[in-house]
A and B are shown apart, each in its own frame.
Chain A
Amino acid sequence: MLKGKVALVTGSSRGIGRAIALKLAEQGADVIINFFRRRQAAEQTAKDVESLGVTAKVIKANVGDPEKIDEMFDIISSSFGRLDIFINNAASGLPRSALDLDTKGWDWTMDINAKAFLLCTQRAVKLMEGRGGKIVTISSLGSYLVLPGYVAIGVSKAALEALTRYLAIELAPKGICVNTVAASLVPTETGMLYARGGQQEESSPWQTTPAGRLVAPEDVANVVAFLCSEEAFMIRGQIIIVDGGTSLVPFSLMSKGG
Chain B
Amino acid sequence: MSATEETIKDTIVKIVHCDREILTPTATFQDMKADSLDMVQVLVALEDEFGIEIPDEDAQKFQNFGDFVAYVEARVAEKGSA
Contact = CB atoms under 8 A, between A and B. Distances in A.
Interface string A143-182: 0000000000000000000000000000000000000000
Interface string B26-46: 000000000111001101100
Interface residues of A, number: 11
Nearest to B56: A37
B35 A38 contact: no
B40 A37 contact: yes
B56 A94 contact: no
Interface in B31-82: 35-37, 40-41, 43-44, 53, 55-57, 59
Nearest to A38: B56
Contacts, number: 24
Interface residues of B, number: 12
Interface of B, helix, strand, loop or mixed by DSSP? helix
B57 A41 contact: yes
A60 interface: yes
Nearest to A105: B37
Interface of A: 37-41, 60, 62, 94, 104-105, 108
Interface of B: 35-37, 40-41, 43-44, 53, 55-57, 59
8 contacts: A37-B55, A41-B57, A60-B53, A62-B44, A94-B36, A94-B37, A104-B41, A105-B37
